[in-house]
Amino acid sequence: MREQLLNRLHLAVVVACAWLVFTSPWVAMLRRIPDGAGFFDYAHVALGFAGLVLAVIYTWACASGGGWRTYFPWAAGRSGAIVDDVRGLLRGRIPVAESGGLFAAIEGLLLVALLAVALTGVAWFLMQGSAEAVAWRGHHIIAARALIGLIVAHVLAVASHLLEL
């Protein structure tokens, strides 16, 4: 039951993120939603708010029941597994996926970045029309770029395990 919920949430997060990232070049907002805003502007805002809800629920689902120890091993005092995985990677060994090591830490950072993107987007929306809106837009873009980089790292980690099989 828990695995099914996590799989469905994961799929919803993937679809929402893909839409938001791939359509972002057509979003024309700076200080506020422009008067002539189009479909992509409003869809980005609406899906962004839905993304915040998804991000909170998915992060909670992943971290509950002690899962936080897997995704945030340094918070559990187990950063040694990350160091071991990096050393192994430098020797050509692929880290174990569910070890609470490097790949799990990447997933944990991905969850944090997902929350950061959603929260900065909401802050940008709430501050629209003010001078702070431009600053929140900048924070949102930085968080989104970090999210994209971590998604690439996550996909490479998953692909390395598929190649190993």
pLDDT digits (tens, 9 = 90+) for 29-73: 888 898 889 999 999 999 999 999 999 999 999 999 888 988 898
Tally of structural domains, the chain: 1
Instruction: Please answer whether residues 44 and 24 qualify as being in contact, where contact means their C-beta atoms are separated by less than 8 angstroms.
Output: yes
Span 61-102, pLDDT tens digits: 999 988 898 889 888 888 888 898 889 889 988 887 767 789
Q: What is the pTM of this model?
A: 0.91
Range of the domain at 14: 2-164
> In this predicted structure, what is the pLDDT of residue 137?
95
DSSP-H helix ranges across the chain: 2-23, 39-63, 68-71, 80-90, 102-126, 131-164
- Both tokens of 35, joined, read 């008067």
* 143 neighbors 20 (Cβ within 8 angstroms): no
Alpha-carbon distance of 77 to 91, in angstroms, equals 25
> How many residues are listed for the chain in this entry?
165
The 3-state DSSP class for residue 99 equals coil
Whether residue 125 is predicted with pLDDT greater than 90 in this model: the reply is yes
- pLDDT value of residue 165: 61
